[in-house]
Amino acid sequence: MNDGRYRKNIKPGMEVAIVLKKDQRSGALTEGRVDRLLTKSDFHPHGIKVMLEDGQVGRVKQIFKSEE
């Protein structure tokens, strides 16, 4: 599944597109690789919050295929 609202679908190292807090109004996406998951619950209606390897934080809107 590539539904970013479920924690079980996201693992560190995956390529994802997130929406940053400052981009929530425009919906602009930022792509990167997940460093760690910040949302503790199994589900969040706006997407699981993650930190990318470059330190940016946002909610997952899209999950790309993992290279693993």
* pLDDT one-digit tens code per residue, 16-68: 999 999 999 999 999 999 999 999 999 999 999 999 999 999 999 999 976 55
Q: What is the pLDDT of residue 65?
A: 72
Q: Do the Cβ atoms of 16 and 36 come closer than 8 Å?
A: no
Residue 67 has a pLDDT of: 55
13: left (phi over 0), alpha (psi -120 to 50) or beta: left
d(CA 45, CA 32): 21
- 11's tokens: 């693992």
Say which amino acid occupies 3. D
Q: Which fold has domain 7-63?
A: SH3 type barrels. (2.30.30)
Q: What is the pLDDT of residue 1?
A: 60
